[in-house]
Structure 1
């Protein structure tokens, strides 16, 4: 069986439930991923509290890293035992999950699973700020508020 953290109602940490949940076999284009680390983010708190409404019940968590245990039909860019990470895919608070292979990135040996799981979503935010909100040019100065947070540390 598969352990996960789910919510059935909105609220504080007391609504989190650790329970057994089924995990299916990967369908076409999917892999079965065994998590080795998951990221914790403010969006998880906002979803749990109801600030960002979700259809309940729901397994929380938006990013993670792990090892591929099985591949579905048509998955050619990933292999069994490969270390990968992902972001922006609700349902990370579990031991195992199926996930669309197109949402995964291969982890190089120099990046450990915990670091990858902790930085994917924050790294995307940094890229958005530096390349989309305003393309920072050589010689420009930027002000980083809350530099001790995840995004600030990457900046």
Structure 2
């Protein structure tokens, strides 16, 4: 029997809430299927950040993905909205917003991102996809985001 829209959204919301609340890795991984092949991928150019552009397949590698996120990023004020639920394909897409910081440089940026989550018959995630601002992450990683903002601000002031 196909899950209801409410059941799918609640399953997705549970993962999103745990992520936003910075729950431990075991809590995050508990939302993933143990009966199906699971994959996490954050889309983007692989050379921009160590967690971008490659699939992390299997629970062990998804743990590695979340470990890389914890190693390189912190975030505050994470919120989710604009839920799109497809009961036929057991898929949920959602928009997220948060303030991110690259840990080694302390450079911060506001970001809007999306998740697309596919679920098995037990309402566990099989495919976790993220589309985010890989350019801001890269510039923050290199310690160049603040510098670029200042240059843009000067250029804008000069144009006015």
More strand by share: 2
Would you call these one fold, judging by a TM-score over 0.5?
no
Provide the TM-score with structure 2 as the length reference: 0.32
More helix by share: 2
